[in-house]
Amino acid sequence: MKAVIQRVSEASVTIDGNKVADIQKGLLVLVGVEDTSNQEDINWLSSKIVNLRVFGDENGVMNLSVKDIDGDVIVVSQFTLHASTKKGNRPSYIKASKPDIAIPVYEKFVAQMESDMGKKIQTGEFGADMKVALINDGPVTIIIDTKNKE
């Protein structure tokens, strides 16, 4: 699994003109699933994101997590995170899981995030054409690949 985590002062997801997710201070998480993604990856990635210290403390030092600040989270599925650009100019998405594998993993990841956060996680809609709006705070953007967890 790969994730792009962005610290935001606000973010939203709109599908067909309808806003389906809307947060203020928190994290926007774009997540991509591979066929090798498993429950261990889900647990590790969720815990890593929830406890990632990217919010400023009273001294302005990035020392607090989204959970510490009682922030909100939007999780959006994004298969393009697994794009290969080695050959040519058209990305290949062969490493990205097909929906029959990716949807259950994505749903388990969202459920694990909710468990780790102790609150509801907002989401986009798997496979939908989404318009994601955000104000990246900092900017702070972190990329995590579960293949690099060791």
Task: Tell me the whole-structure pTM to 2 decimals.
Answer: 0.95
Pick the catalytic residue: 24, 36, 39, 80? 80
| Residue count of the chain | 150
Q: Model confidence over 81-113: pLDDT tens digits?
A: 988 899 889 998 988 999 999 999 999 999 999
Tell me whether residue 6 is one of the annotated catalytic residues.
no
Pick the catalytic residue: 6, 55, 79, 123? 79
Q: Residue 39 CA to chain centroid, in angstroms? A: 16
CATH number at residue 24: 3.50.80.10
Residue 9 is predicted with a pLDDT of 98
Given a cut of 90, whether residue 149 has pLDDT beyond it is no
Domains of the chain: total:
1
Burial class (CB in 10 A: 0-12, 13-18, 19+), 62: middle
Instruction: Report residue 102 as tokens.
Output: 């990716």
Given a cut of 80, whether residue 150 has pLDDT beyond it is no
Q: Model confidence over 132-142: pLDDT tens digits?
A: 999 999 999 99
Domain residues for the domain of 102 are 2-148
Tell me whether residue 80 is one of the annotated catalytic residues.
yes
Residue 150 vs residue 71, higher pLDDT: 71
SS3 68: coil
